[in-house]
């Protein structure tokens, strides 16, 4: 939003300066007739901003590959706590998306997101098991708690999916 505002302010300032210079350089030019240009620019920019930030516009630009690749990170850079939070956040988003609307495309996208979460859960389990032997008492409690939160969130996301959604996606059935 900051860059948009800065960009818009620069354009409006350039238009106003151009109108002022035009009025000073060519006094016989009808600058009063050109005065509505800056407010119209502002109006068009705000309408365009509202339209491009709408959910419908952003959904057309998204693909299942973009969703699953966006969340992929190398497992060695993740801590069990960060990976658990990521799984919980995505599981909550899956449940929220399915509560809004259950179209076939949305179900498939949520299914792909759920499968990515399951893959991350496997990574979380490996990271937790690797860290548990040398962890102290409090750290063990934190690791078990993080894994339990992620497991519970995944179970709730799975319950939100319609029956049969995890069998195979439409592309795999063809």
Domain ranges of the chain: 2-58, 63-173
pLDDT for 143 equals: 92
pLDDT for 73 equals: 54
pLDDT for 84 equals: 92
Rg of the chain in Å (alpha carbons): 26
Identify the three-state secondary structure at position 42.
helix
pLDDT for 5 equals: 84
Per residue of the chain (174 residues), what is the pLDDT tens digit? Answer: 578 888 889 999 999 999 889 888 988 888 788 889 999 999 999 888 888 777 777 777 777 776 666 555 554 457 889 999 999 999 999 999 888 877 888 888 888 899 999 999 999 999 999 999 999 999 999 999 999 999 999 999 999 888 877 775 555 544
């Amino acid at each position: 939003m900051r860059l948009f505002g800065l960009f818009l302010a620069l354009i409006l300032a350039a238009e106003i300066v151009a109108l002022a210079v035009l009025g000073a350089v060519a006094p016989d030019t009808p600058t009063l007739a050109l005065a509505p240009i800056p407010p119209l620019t502002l109006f068009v920019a705000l309408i365009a901003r509202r339209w491009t930030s709408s959910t419908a516009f952003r959904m057309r630009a998204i693909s299942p590959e973009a969703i699953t690749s966006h969340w992929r990170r190398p497992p060695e850079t993740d801590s069990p706590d960060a990976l658990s939070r990521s799984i919980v956040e995505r599981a909550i988003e899956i449940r929220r998306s399915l509560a809004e609307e259950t179209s076939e495309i949305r179900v498939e996208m949520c299914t792909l997101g759920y499968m990515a979460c399951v893959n991350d859960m496997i990574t979380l389990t490996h990271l937790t098991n690797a860290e548990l032997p040398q962890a102290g008492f409090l750290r063990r409690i934190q690791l078990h708690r993080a894994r339990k939160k992620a497991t519970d969130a995944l179970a709730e996301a799975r319950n939100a999916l319609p029956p049969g959604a995890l069998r195979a996606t439409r592309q795999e059935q063809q």
